[in-house]
Amino acid sequence: MEPYSSNNLLLEINTLDFSYDKTSPIYKDFSLRLNRGEIKAIVGESGAGKSTLFELILGNLKADKGSIKSSKIAQVFQDPYSSFHPSFTIINQIEDVCSIENVEEMLKELKLDFRLLEKLPHELSGGQLQRASILRALLMEPELLLLDEPTSALDNIIQLDVMKFLISKLPSMGMLLITHELDLAHWCADEIIEI
């Protein structure tokens, strides 16, 4: 993955090909551009390659053909338990990657108590941990935020509040959202990409 420095264009994928077994391509001549201030939603059935796309953008998988250029990335994983080490407190794992200077306002917006951050991951509910994962990603001050089902563990009211909070961050970043919820995609996305 090449670093990217354009002011408004945060992600550029050109004519991407990728397959795991060379016989059934997951991506063929796939292109995508994402600008600052945009949310694009990736929708598709399980196994269609939505999470694979994030792995390609992050550089964890190598494309067979094509190019990917992106700005500074943070990711919110679908399973928050897999994104935190079980033996360390949430706050330790946040401080390992970023400053917590501006944490109070974000905690309020995400309806999290600071005391929860002093706990181990298994001591939080799935919804609390998912919001802690969003908190960590935002504190990293990315330009490009990759969101893999970021609200799947949240009830409807908190889901709406969290999405509104994420949307409020758009002036400083762009977001690529994987979701199976078409209503959510239609509500928040500038473009829906079916794969």
pLDDT for the residue numbered 6: 56
Q: What is the pLDDT of residues 149-193, one digit of tens each?
A: 998 888 888 888 999 999 999 999 999 999 988 888 999 999 999
Yes or no: say if 32 and 40 are a contact pair by the CB < 8 Å rule. Answer: yes
- Report, as ranges of residue numbers, the positions in the chain whose pLDDT lies below 50: 1-5
pLDDT for the residue numbered 47: 84
pLDDT for the residue numbered 3: 45
The count of domains in the chain is: 1
pLDDT for the residue numbered 181: 86
Q: Which residue in the block uniquely carries the two structure tokens 């959510």?
A: 184
Residue 107: which domain range?
Answer: 2-194
- CATH number, domain at 45? 3.40.50.300
Q: Which of 127, 126, 133, 191 is nearest to 166 (CA)?
A: 133
Yes or no: say if 84 and 90 are a contact pair by the CB < 8 Å rule. Answer: yes
